[in-house]
């Protein structure tokens, strides 16, 4: 069992270790770890992050591309799979 802060540190350490290696990264995870990653990247508080990843197959597409004028991470698309 690990705390939210431990899970967040573990996930973000791994994520930051591969940022410069790839143009695009796909993260597939359970909702709780997905929420902690969003919490870190979007600088959300715990309650705000909880509104994401509450449905099976929910997808958030994030972008941080300084070439497009981004100054921080932002959600550019959200959808939930209709596959059952």
**pLDDT at position 7 over 70:** yes
The DSSP-derived string for 18-81 is HGGG-S-------HHHHHHHHHHHTT--HHHHTTSS-STTEEEEEE--GGGT-SS-EEEEEEE-
The pLDDT tens digits of the residues spanning 9-64 come to 998 999 889 988 988 888 888 888 888 888 999 999 888 988 888 888 888 999 99
pLDDT given at position 82: 75
| Range(s) of the domain holding residue 40 | 4-80
Q: CB count, 10 Å around CB of 39?
A: 20
pLDDT given at position 84: 60
**In DSSP terms, which residues pair with 80 in a beta bridge?**
58
pLDDT given at position 73: 92
Q: How many domains does the chain have?
A: 1
What letter does residue 2 receive in the DSSP assignment? -
pTM of the model: 0.77
């Amino acid at each position: 069992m690990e705390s939210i802060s431990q899970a967040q540190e573990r996930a973000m350490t791994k994520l930051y270790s591969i940022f410069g290696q790839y143009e695009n990264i796909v993260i597939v995870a359970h909702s709780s770890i997905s929420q902690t990653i969003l919490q870190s990247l979007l600088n959300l508080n715990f309650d705000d992050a909880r509104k994401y990843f509450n449905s099976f197959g929910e997808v958030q597409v994030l972008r941080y591309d300084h070439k497009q004028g981004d100054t921080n991470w932002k959600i550019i698309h959200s959808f939930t799979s209709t596959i059952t």
